[in-house]
């Protein structure tokens, strides 16, 4: 497949998402024509002044073949195009699609992708290269799980083997990991539909979330970035709502580079860790796509969407040094974090903070230099669109 030239158009999928907005802003600021794909008109990323056009296609989850065919027709009409899939569903759909000549897909190799989205296979690969992972076991059929596997004690975490998988004509969703404290909660958790495709039972790992973000050129890392999650939604562990750029330990980076080399990775990868109170880092998963806090990396000087386009074009990558201590905040997500923490004492206990500490953290972020992720003074419309969607 030929490399896209300087006049390439970029198709960004999943325009409803914040990573798509970050990519649209970054690529549009480079002067590229960014075409945003969405399930319905008026999506978040298309509200940006950096979007050249918005295109409505069928739902990629419910009608994957129709969505893929529509994208292929659009790409053919635009000439030279680079497709940047944002979600797992979009990536998997396109790996199974015959794209027209002149269209380049910015996605990892099919074999590497298959390992990354299978949490069990990924953790096995990580163990082979010496990366610490939570103790656990795989339940191919969770309905047969009556007691905890040998070596595990409550609390444990039950998580679907795959976040998404093909189910008949569409896609099924695995759902979120569940903390399980009692046999009764285990019996309830294994009945969730998302566990039907297999589940991992893992030791509960206390601490906070961290990530290592990489741009990989056929197994060789060209750009690096790392962050820590300061607040999450839900508060006890989930999506990042306030995060900060951090330095990487040489051993940590070397382990991550061994893993992407082992997988034969190419493109973007986000390795998600849990940092325990005693300083150990446990690998949780690898996101084979643009991640939720990509805007933080851009704010800190590492423009991963732009670097991915450079990689696809064959432009030599000049690895930028990220600025440390930069903070970015998803405001509406932080509102949710605060509201959940105030309403649920168990969440505050997991955080180790009282009501006043929760409130103080929320209001302090308006004055400590933290940048808002969706609100940008020079591009305000996405924030107002997100707020309007939230208020219904």
Q: How far is CA 381 from the centre of its chain?
A: 23
Question: Quick one: 287 and 340 in the same domain?
Answer: no
Q: How would DSSP label each residue in 121-176?
A: HHHHHHHHTT-----EEEESSGGG--SPPTT--SSEEEEES-SEEEETTEEEE---
Q: Which of 288, 322, 356 is the last residue of a domain?
A: 322
Is 129 domain-assigned?
no
How far is 102 from 2, CA to CA, in rounded Å?
7
CATH code of the domain in which 26 resides: 3.40.50.20
Which residue range forms the structural domain that includes residue 294? 207-229+236-322
Question: Quick one: 144 and 174 in the same domain?
Answer: yes
Name the burial class of residue 259, with classes exposed (0-12), middle (13-18) and buried (19+) by CB atoms within 10 angstroms of its CB: buried
CATH code of the domain in which 161 resides: 3.30.1490
CATH code of the domain in which 246 resides: 3.30.470.20
Question: Quick one: 22 and 95 in the same domain?
Answer: yes
3-state SS class at 76: helix
Tens digit of each residue's pLDDT, the chain (392 residues): 456 655 789 999 999 999 999 999 999 999 999 999 999 999 999 999 999 999 999 999 999 999 999 999 999 999 999 999 999 999 999 999 999 999 999 999 999 999 999 999 999 999 999 999 999 999 998 888 888 999 999 999 999 999 998 888 899 898 888 889 999 999 999 988 889 889 999 999 988 889 999 999 999 999 999 999 999 998 877 789 999 999 998 888 999 999 999 999 999 999 999 999 998 999 999 999 899 999 999 999 999 999 999 999 889 998 889 999 999 999 999 999 999 999 999 889 878 899 999 999 999 999 999 999 999 999 999 999 999 999 98
- pLDDT, residue 379, reads 98
Question: Quick one: 225 and 309 in the same domain?
Answer: yes
Is 124 domain-assigned?
no
- pLDDT, residue 136, reads 94
Is 164 domain-assigned?
yes
Question: Quick one: 317 and 291 in the same domain?
Answer: yes
Is 112 domain-assigned?
no
Which secondary structure element, helix H or strand E, spans residue 267, and what is its range? Answer: strand 267-275
Question: Quick one: 166 and 100 in the same domain?
Answer: no
Backbone angles phi, psi at 376, to 5 degrees: -135, 130
Is 197 domain-assigned?
yes
Question: Quick one: 292 and 351 in the same domain?
Answer: no
Into how many domains does the chain fold? 4
Q: Which of 89, 106, 123 is the last residue of a domain?
A: 106
Q: Which of 271, 294, 322 is the last residue of a domain?
A: 322
- pLDDT, residue 159, reads 93
Question: Quick one: 72 and 50 in the same domain?
Answer: yes
Is 171 domain-assigned?
yes
- pLDDT, residue 1, reads 45
Is 113 domain-assigned?
no
């Amino acid at each position: 497949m030929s490399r896209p030239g300087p006049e390439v158009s970029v198709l960004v999928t999943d325009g409803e998402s914040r990573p798509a907005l970050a990519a649209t802003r970054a690529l549009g600021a480079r002067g590229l024509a960014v075409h945003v794909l969405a399930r319905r008109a008026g999506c978040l990323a298309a509200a940006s002044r950096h979007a050249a056009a918005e295109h409505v296609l069928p739902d990629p989850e419910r009608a994957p073949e129709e969505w893929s065919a529509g994208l292929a027709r659009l790409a053919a009409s635009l000439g030279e195009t680079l497709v940047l899939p944002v979600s797992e569903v979009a990536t998997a759909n396109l790996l199974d699609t015959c794209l027209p000549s002149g269209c380049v897909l910015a996605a990892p190799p099919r074999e590497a992708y298959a390992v990354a989205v299978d949490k069990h296979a990924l953790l096995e690969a990580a163990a082979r290269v010496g990366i610490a992972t939570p103790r656990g076991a795989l339940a191919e059929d969770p309905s047969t799980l009556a007691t905890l596997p040998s070596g595990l004690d409550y609390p444990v975490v039950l998580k679907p083997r795959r976040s998404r998988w093909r189910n008949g004509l569409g896609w099924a969703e695995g759902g979120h990991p569940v903390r399980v404290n009692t046999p009764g909660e285990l019996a309830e958790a294994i009945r969730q539909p998302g566990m039907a495709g297999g589940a991992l039972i893992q030791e509960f790992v206390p601490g906070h979330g961290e990530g290592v973000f990489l741009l990989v050129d056929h197994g060789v890392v060209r750009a690096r970035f790392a962050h820590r999650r300061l607040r999450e939604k839900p508060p006890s562990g989930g999506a990042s709502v306030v995060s900060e750029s951090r330095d990487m330990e040489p051993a940590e980076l070397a382990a991550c580079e061994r893993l992407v080399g082992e997988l034969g990775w190419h493109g973007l990868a986000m390795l998600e860790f849990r940092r325990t109170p005693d300083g150990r880092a446990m690998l949780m998963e690898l996101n084979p796509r643009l991640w939720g806090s990509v805007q933080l990396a851009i704010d800190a000087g590492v423009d991963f969407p732009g670097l991915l386009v450079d990689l696809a074009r064959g432009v030599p990558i000049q690895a930028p040094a990220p600025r440390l201590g930069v903070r970015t905040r998803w405001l509406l997500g932080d509102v949710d974090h605060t509201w959940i923490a105030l309403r649920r004492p168990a969440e505050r206990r997991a955080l180790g903070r009282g009501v006043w500490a929760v409130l103080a953290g929320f209001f302090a972020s308006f004055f400590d230099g933290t940048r808002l992720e969706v609100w940008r003074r020079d591009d305000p419309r996405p924030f107002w669109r997100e707020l309007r969607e939230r208020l219904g």
